Amino acid sequence: MNFRDQLTGEADDPVLNEAVKHFKSSMDAWSEAAYRRPRAVVKMAGPRWRLATGWALGCLLAVGGLAGGVVEHQRRQELAKLAAVKAAQRAAHERLVAARSAAAAQEALDEQPAAEHINAVTSRTTSDQNLLATVDKDVSQEVPAAMEPLAQLMDDSGSQ
């Protein structure tokens, strides 16, 4: 016989049954009383230095974040100024190179006879026209070159 049998009253000894029932009812009553009794809430009064330390660390964190943001902003401004100066120097250098090459080309044109100059201009014009015709042909394609086999499968009416 196990404890459950004893609690349900299936034990052979009636004295033991009665003792177990009394013990169970007294435990139930004690538990109810323990749960229902009023309790006093005790506020833990911690040291005040913890509150002050928390505020100090919070302020330190906020000031550090702001200072880091200001430093990063200034660094980015300095980098932007340096990039602008480098771009201006690069543009000035390119203008200088272009001016020198234009001067060299002008000298070459001044030294060439007029017939050679006309032939050079004509050949450049023909070359430019050929280049423009090639670009026009490439741009005016209906489909890219990789899609041409698929385009051939489609009929011209576009009803598919």
pLDDT tens digit sequence for 61-102: 999 999 999 999 999 999 999 999 999 999 999 999 988 888
- pLDDT bucket at 32, cuts 50 / 70 / 90: very high
Domain boundaries, the chain: 1-35, 76-124
The answer to whether residue 30 scores a pLDDT higher than 90 is yes
**Distance between CA 84 and CA 65 in Å, rounded?**
29
Is the Cβ–Cβ distance between 6 and 17 less than 8 Å? yes
- Residue 103 main-chain phi, psi, to 5 deg: -65, -40
For residue 17, give every residue at least 6 positions away whose Cβ sits within 8 Å of its Cβ, in sequence order, or none: 6, 9, 11
- Would you state the pLDDT for residue 10? 57
Rg (CA), the chain: 49
- Would you state the pLDDT for residue 42? 77
Burial zone of 135 (CB within 10 Å; 0-12 exposed, 13-18 middle, 19+ buried): exposed
- Would you state the pLDDT for residue 45? 67
